Amino acid sequence: MDLLAPIPEAPEPDWAAAFRMPIAECGQPLQALGISQGFLVWPAYHRLGIPNALPECHARSEVFDRLLHAANLLPDGMRLVVLDAWRPFAVQQHLYDTLYDILKHHEPEADPAELTRRTREFVAPPSTRADAPSPHLTGGAVDVTLADRDGRWLNMGSLFDEATPRSYTRHYEAFEQPTKLQRRVRDHRRLLFNVMQAAGFSNLSSEWWHYDYGDQLWAWHTGASKAIYGPAQVLPLEQLWRQQLDGLRKPL
């Protein structure tokens, strides 16, 4: 496969249509990613001090496997880095509200509908609805970047979660005569896009770092008939104990 194939054009998601995609929950559990030897994990929101963010990244078991596959496709000397995966609702709400408020403060005369549209470019609407959960609440959405062999992050042309057009996945594809730096950034994004796509993920066109598998956004992007991941939950110890004790009452 051509790891540096150009990133194709992709439409901005129709969130209403995506949230209408049916969900056939497959029941795959969430797994902690931090013990993986195949890729690096840096839980960005916890490190940045976002309230209620967890010190570990969790994803569905098949997402874990597909991340390993994507990491194995990278050239020698490059590593995949997971920045975020399953996300508590409180974190989703915090990110959405914070970005909306910043945009409103920056452009006080802007129409609320336009502010909502621009906020949705970078943060999905918070939702725990069983039929329309936010992608990161399913354990199917992941935020990723690239690093070198020693863990130094590669230049991707914008910061993670940067709310500017530079974050659009194809931003650096538009330069007809890119500089050496622009070409390097473009190739880093192409490399990330192509290995993640080869592993079965779809990309959110406004965020070079955001990829989905199994959730409604993935189903909408890929033309799948249904999503396989609904809302998921990292259970506290007390609830795990209750489930384990309840399981003792059931025959094997």
Query: In angstroms, rounded to a whole number, what is the distance separating the alpha carbons of residues 21 and 225?
Result: 8
DSSP string, 9-74: P-PPP-HHHHTTS-B----PPEEE-TT-SSSEE--HHHHTT-TT--SS-EEEHHHHHHHHHHHHHS
Residue 215 labeled ligand binder: no
**The one catalytic residue among 107, 173, 207, 238:** 207
3-state SS class at 79:
strand
Task: Judge whether 25 counts as a catalytic residue.
Answer: no
Please indicate if the annotation marks 46 as binding a ligand: no
- Write out the E strands in the chain: 30-32, 40-41, 58-60, 78-84, 128-129, 132-133, 141-148, 202-203, 210-212
136 is in an annotated binding site: yes
Token reading at 161: 């979660």
- Which residue ranges make up the annotated binding site for Zn(2+)? 136, 143, 210
Instruction: Just list the catalytic residues.
Output: 207
Which residues define the annotated binding site?
A: 136, 143, 210
